[in-house]
Amino acid sequence: MHDRHEVDCHVEWPSFTRVSGVGTVVRGWAYSRTLAQLNAVQIRHSEGWKCEGVYGFHRPDVSVTYPEAGHANLGWEVRVILPAGKHRLVIEFCDSTGKWSFGAELAIEMRPSRIPRWLPGSDMPDLLCFQFPAHASGKARNLAGERFPQRGRNNEQLPSISIVTPSYQQAWALGRCMNSVLGEHGVPLQYVVQDGGSTDGSADLIRSHEAKLAAWESAPDGGQTHAIVLGFAKTSGRPTDLMAWINSDDFYMPGALRFVTEYFAQHPSVDVVYGHRVVVNREGQEIARWFLPKHDSEVLRLNDFVPQETLFWRRRIWDKVGGLDTSFQFAMDWDLLLRFQAAGAKIVRVPYFLGCFRIHAQQKTSAQISTVGQAEIDRLRERTFGRKVAPAELETSPLLHRYLRKSAWIEQLWKWGIRAR
């Protein structure tokens, strides 16, 4: 039973009980009355399933009014995908001890949009919030595999692939990540795990796979980007060989690596490949999917919709641009893609689900998006356009609207059993 007096929670949105669209953003602010530090938020549906959100957005306006909170990072947000009908939701918060406490209850009714999302005139807020944001989630279900085409090339005809996994204190997820790489038989592979000196048993887990690894290390580093650079320094290959990194809390779809190496072998002019994304919860259950339209170079300049765990490239383009810029700790993949594109790389989106992106409370992507992440994103947009780009400019961009509608159409076709190319 939750103690209903431990968390002071305020729901700011939705401000009404009837919501149009495929889901709703529930947001507000909260703090612990017991002075325990809150670090996670989730919504639990009356049917028993739950979805996680993000806690820790900077809210100095609230901290001024409520100094007893002790800090200003009080904001929270959960994006929940809900079918049409009435729903009762309970908002819960986790503190630094791992205890979950009641925050608030919310009763809402979801009503379908009058215009399908893929048509002009559809609900733009619905598109922006729920077409493929990283932390939108619905009722969990078993992960469905992908059907990759079989091309049947001999292993010696395939390019080698060097993969690096940066990790720190994530032994709970690292095993599945490593298995998704090492379980791909017949793929020429150099796999490096670069751990930041974890104390949670990660080193023992990595050591148990040592015979299949090109190299590994568990030692302090300068952060995720630095760890990736250190890992790739332990690999080698021809200019036409492949490279990728996958974070320790993510994992590849079975068969993805074989498909990718065969695709590159068949398309020698292609420099970069990425695909659709499956979003999973901490337990690895599917909670959402991203459907990516064909690559659009102008959209990439405006925003990064490329799922990092599905991204693969040739060593020749990596060497041409000089690899990762270690001044980025959040948007290093977008920076790399922009430099790939500026260097003339041929970039292709393939219409297959290549990787799984895991949402959990300790996730760097969630925890830093409103601070370090947003500053780096702003920096890249200013570099690209030679000026600051206001959020309102993105929200009203016709280019972005068309891209999101294409994504919605691809998703609808997939629901009808049709794979859009």
What is the pairing mode between strands 50-52 and 38-45? Answer: antiparallel
Neighbours of 205 (CB within 10 A): 19
Cis ω for the linkage preceding 14 (within 30 of 0): yes
Q: What percent of the chain has pLDDT over 90?
A: 78
| Closest by Cα among 172, 154, 318 to 244 | 318
Please write the tens of the pLDDT for every residue from 156-210.
Answer: 789 999 999 999 999 999 999 999 999 998 899 999 999 999 999 999 999 999 9
Residue 96 has pLDDT above 90, yes or no: no
pLDDT at 135: 79
Which residues touch 288 (CB under 8 Å, ≥6 apart)? 81, 132, 136, 137, 138, 278, 279
Q: Considering the chain, what is the average pLDDT of its residues?
A: 93
Q: What pLDDT is recorded for position 1?
A: 47
pLDDT in tens, 22-37: 899 999 999 999 878 8
Share of the chain above pLDDT 70, in %: 96
Dump pLDDT digits (tens) for 97-123: 889 999 999 999 999 888 999 999 888
pLDDT band at 407 (very low <50, low <70, confident <90, very high): very high
Instruction: Please give the structure tokens belonging to residue 88.
Output: 């009762």
The Cα angle at residue 311 between residues 307 and 317, in degrees rounded to 5: 135
Note the Cα 126 to chain centre separation in Å.
Answer: 19
3 confidence band (pLDDT: 50, 70, 90): low
pLDDT in tens, 277-334: 999 999 999 999 999 999 999 999 999 999 999 999 999 999 999 999 999 999 999 9
161 or 137, greater pLDDT? 161
Cα 159 from chain centre: 27
The confidence band for 128, taking pLDDT boundaries of 50, 70 and 90, is: confident
pLDDT at 368 over 60: no
Q: Which has the closest alpha carbon to 182: 192, 172, 168, 173?
A: 192
Alpha-carbon distance of 230 to 237, in angstroms, equals: 16
For range 346-360, the mean pLDDT: 95
The whole-model pTM stands at 0.93
Better pLDDT: 91 or 395: 91
pLDDT at 302: 95
pLDDT of residue 365: 45
- How far is Cα 44 from Cα 137, in angstroms, rounded to an integer? 12
Q: Is the pLDDT of residue 369 over 70?
A: no
- At 124, the pLDDT band (50, 70, 90 cuts) reads confident
Residue 80 has pLDDT above 60, yes or no: yes
Arithmetic mean of pLDDT, 43-66: 92
Domains in the chain (CATH in brackets) are 7-112 (2.60.40.10), 155-415 (3.90.550.10)
Inter-residue contact 369 to 323 (CB < 8 Å)? no
Please report how the helices 332-342 and 224-232 are oriented relative to each other, as an axis angle in degrees rounded to 10. 50
112 phi and psi angles, rounded to 5 deg: -60, 145
Res 338: pLDDT: 98
